[in-house]
A and B are shown apart, each in its own frame.
Chain A
Amino acid sequence: MRRRLIGSIPVLLIVVMGTFLLMEMAPGDAVDAYLVSLGGGDAGLAAQLRQSYGLDQSAFSRLLFYLGSLARFDLGWSLAFDRPILGLIAERLPNTLWLMGTATALAFMLGSALGVVAGARPGSLTDRLLSIGSLALYATPSFWLGLVLILIFAVDLRWFPTAGIETVASGKVGMARVFDVAWHLVLPVASLGFIYLALFLRMMRSGMAEVWRLDFVLAARARGISRLRLVLRHVARNALLPLVTMLGLQAATMLGGSVVVESVFAVPGFGRLAHEAVAARDAPLLTGIIVVSAVMVIAVNLLVDIAYGFLDPRVGRGEEVS
C-alpha cells in the first residue's frame, strides 16, 4: 500500500507539468480573457494587469513557483476569481462529490440489478429489451438527456426545479435544506447516472452469460440449488468482479461527464469550475482542479483494490505471496 502511495507522486508531478504545459500552449492568456469581459481598455491597462497577475514572468519561473507552493500544499491564487484556489475548490468539491457519488451509486446498483435480470436468462425477451434500451441510453449525450429531462419534468410537469443545487436565497436550514438539495439533485443525477447505468448493465449481463457456461454452475444445478440462489449467489457474484474494476475507471470518466451536466443544470461544482478556468485561461486554478481530481481518482482506485480483496479472496492472498 505504501509503495502504491509513493508511486503516485511522480504521476501527480506529470499531471501538473502536463496541465501547465497545455495551458501555456493554448493561445491567449488570462489577461486576454479578462479584457474581453471589460469590453476594452488601453495598452497600459493590459501591461498593468499582466504584471499584477505575474504573467510578465517566464513560463519556467512560473512553473517553478507553482511547484514550490504546491510542495507546501498551497494551491495558489485564482486569477479569474481573485480568490484563493483552495477555498474555491473546497466550496465546489462537495457538490460534485454528491452529484458523482449518487450518480455512480445509481448507475452501479440499478445497472447491475438490471444486468442480473437480463443475465438471468440470456437471450430472453426481457434481456433483449433491456439490452436495446441500455444501448440507446448509452448512445445519448448527457447534455441532451439533461435538457430533455428539464423540459419534461421541470418546465412541463414542474415536479423538479430546472437548475441549481438548492433554492436560491431560501434561508432553509437543517433537514429542510437536505431535502431541498436532494430535490434539486434528482434531474442532474438522473442525466449523469443513466448513461453509465447502461455500461454496468451490459457488463453484468455479458459477465453472467459467460459464467452460466462454467462447470461449477452445472454442478450447482445438479446439487438442486434453487434458481434464485443460483443466479444471485453463484452466477451474479462471480460476474461482479469486472464491474468493480469498471467502477474505479468510471470515477475518472464521470468527472469529465460532470462538466457537462453541471453546466446544463447550473450546479456550482468542480466540472463547471474547470470549464470556467479554461475559458479564463486560469492556469493555476485548472492545475489545482486537475491535481485534486487526480488525487481523487488515485484514492478511488486504491479503494477498489481493497474492495477486490473482500470480493475475491484470491486477490489479497496473491499480493501477500509476491
Chain B
Amino acid sequence: MFGYSLSRRTLMRGTALVAGGLVLPRLALADDALRGGRLVVAADSEPRSLNPAIVASNGVFFIASKIVEPLAEAAFGSESGLAPRLATSWEGAEDGLSVTFKLREGVTWHDGKPFTADDVAFSALNVWKPLQNLGRVVFANLETVDTPDAHTAVFRFSRPMPIQLIRNAMPVVTSVLPKHLYEGTDISANPANHAPVGTGPFRFAEHKPGEYYRLVRNESYWGGDQPKLDEVVYRVLPDRAAAASALEAEEIQLAAFSQVPLVDLDRISKVPGLKVVTEGYEALTYQLVVEINHRNPILAKLAVRQAIAHAIDKRFVVDTVFLGYAASSTGPVPKNAPEFYNPQVTAHDFDIDRANALLDEAGYPRGEGGKRFSLRLLPAPFFSETRQFGDYLRQALAAVGIDVQIVNNDTPAHLKAVYTDHAFDLTVGSPVFRGDPAISTTILVQSGIPDGVPFSNQGGYANAELDAIIEEASETVDPEARTALYNDFQTMVTEELPLINVAEWGFTSVVRDNVVNVGNNPRWVVSNWADTGLAR
C-alpha cells in the first residue's frame, strides 16, 4: 500500500547524513557545493595569440593555461616543487645528455584524439626550440626527442643539460600542442593559435574581441572530478579603475595581476564580500632593478655605482612606492626562490654620507649648485611603480649631488631607446625571476648579447669572470654544484653591481569571498584553475 518500511539501513543513513551535516560542513562544501557556476575574471588586455607554446608570457598563460597544459606545474610543498600534469615523472641521465619523461596515459585532446609522446616530441622540436621566446634559450641544445613507446619521451641534448633547470623551467616552457593540428602547417599562422585546442580542464569556447573570452568545462578531463567550474569568462576591462568598480558592483568575481591598483587595495579590502589575496604569484616574482649603462665612463666606475646603491632607501621604496606589497632586494635572486637565494652577499645599506664620500673619492666633487654630474634616467613605463620609483630615484640621487633628467617614453619607444639605441644612463627595469636564474636572470648581466634583445644586458657590461660562472652553471648537471655556482653569481653581482636590485614584488588578486582555492600554487594565476570553485 502507501506505507513504507523504515529499515534499519535507511535509518542509519539518515542519521549519518545529519551527523555528517553537523560535523563536516567544510568537507561537504569542498565536494558538491563547489560544482558548477561561472567565474568572471577581469582581463586588462587581449594577447595577440593564445598559444602558450609559442608565447610563454603571463598575459597568454592567464587565459591559455586553462586550455593547454605543460608537462608539470609548480606546487607548494612538494619535494621537487612540482605537481605532475602531462608528464608523470622525469629523470635526467647521469651525463646530463638526456632526460626521460614518462607521460600520462588516458589523456585526450579536446577534439577527442589521444595524447601521445609524438605530441611532446613535435612540440619540443618544432615549437619550443625554434619559436618560443623562452624555449629558444632553454632548449637551444636539444637535438632529438626519442619516443620508444607512446608514453615515453627521451629528450637528447648536444651539451649537458642540468635537470634542475628542466625542473624549474617545465611549468613555463613545456606547453604541449596537438601534433595532428599543427603538423605540416605554418605553425605561427595556425588558426588554433587563436582558438587553442589542448588537454586542459577547460575548452576554448569563444572570443568576442574587445569584450570577453569564454572557456567551458572539459567533460573528459583526466583529472577525475575536475574542473569544478562550468565556465570561466574573462571580461576585457582596459581602464585602471574598471576592475575595482566591476568587483564592487559584483559584475566580476576576480581581478588578478594587480588590476586593482595598490592605492585602492586598502579601501577595497574593507568592502564586504571582497578580499585581497597575495598568494599565487610566488613563482613569478618581479624585480625592481636600476639598470646601468656602463658605456658612460662615470658609471663604469664601481665607486659611483656603489654610491648610487647607497643613496637608495629600499625600505622607503617598499613602504611608499609599493605601499608595503613588496620586499627589499639583496641581490639578483629573490628571497622567495629558496633553492637559489644567497643571503650572504654584499649589502649596500642606505647611507648618504657613504655615498657622498664614495663620489668624492671617485673624483667627482660637488660643483656649482652642489651638482657633481648629470645622468639621463629612463623609467620603464610598464608599471606605475616603475615610474614612481623613477621619480624617487631622481630625488634620492639629487641628495648626493647627482643631477637626474627623467626621460619618459611609451612602451615601444622605451624598448628601442634602452635595448636597441642604448640612449640612457640609468633605467628602471622590471625583469621577472622565473624559477631558475638561467631562464631570464643571468641574461641581465651576461656579456656578448646582440643589440635589440629586450630585458637583457644592453648596458655594455662585460665581466669575464662572471660570464665564466654563468657558462659553467648552464652545463653543470649536479644540482648542488649548480646551486653553489649561482651562489657565487649572486656574490659577484652584488660586489660588482652591474645593476642594482632594489625591491621584489608579486602581484595581488582581489576576489569575492565565495571563490575558493585561490592562490594555492606558486603560479596559481597562470595555472589551470582545475580545483577553483564557487561556494554557494
Contact = CB atoms under 8 A, between A and B. Distances in A.
Interface of A: 26-30, 32-46, 52, 80-82, 88, 91-92, 147, 150-151, 154-155, 158, 161-166, 168-169, 263-266, 268-269, 272-273, 279-281
Of the candidates A41, A161, A166, A264, the one having the most CB atoms from chain B within 10 angstroms of its own CB is: A41
Contacts of A273: 210
B188 interface: yes
B110 interface: no
B209 A81 contact: yes
A36 B246 contact: no
A268 B211 contact: yes
B48 A37 contact: yes
A263 B415 contact: no
B192 to A, nearest CB: 13
B210 A268 contact: yes
A83 to B, nearest CB: 8
A147 B241 contact: yes
Contacts of B33: none
Given A82-B49, A168-B211, 12 more contacts: A26-B413, A28-B415, A37-B45, A40-B134, A40-B455, A41-B454, A43-B452, A162-B245, A162-B249, A168-B208, A266-B236, A281-B412
Interface residues on B, range: 35 or more
A150 B450 CA distance: 48
B133 A263 contact: no
Contacts of A272: 210, 238
Given A46-B452, A46-B453, A88-B209, A266 B238 contact: yes
Contact of B237 (A38, A40, A163): A163
Interface stretch (B51-59, B153-161, B309-317, B363-371): B51-59
Contacts, number: 163
Contact of B137 (A34, A42, A150): A42
Contacts of A147: 241
Nearest to A151: B245
Nearest to A280: B412
B245 A42 contact: no
Contacts of B239: 163, 263-266
Contacts of A161: 249, 251
Interface in B437-465: 440, 443, 449-456
Interface in B223-257: 231, 233, 235-239, 241-242, 245-246, 248-249, 251
Contacts of B133: 38-42, 45
A281 B48 CA distance: 13
A91 B233 CA distance: 20
B55 A38 contact: yes
B350 interface: no
Which 10 pairs from chain A and chain B are nearest by CB? A268-B210, A28-B412, A27-B413, A28-B416, A43-B450, A41-B133, A32-B412, A33-B412, A32-B415, A40-B455
A150 B245 contact: yes
B405 to A, nearest CB: 17
A42 B249 contact: no
A82 B451 CA distance: 26
B214 interface: yes
A168 B451 CA distance: 44
Given A41-B454, A154-B249, A268-B236, A169 B413 contact: no
Interface in B130-155: 133-134, 136-137
Contact of A40 (B209, B450, B452, B454): B454
Interface string B190-223: 0001100000000000101111101000000000
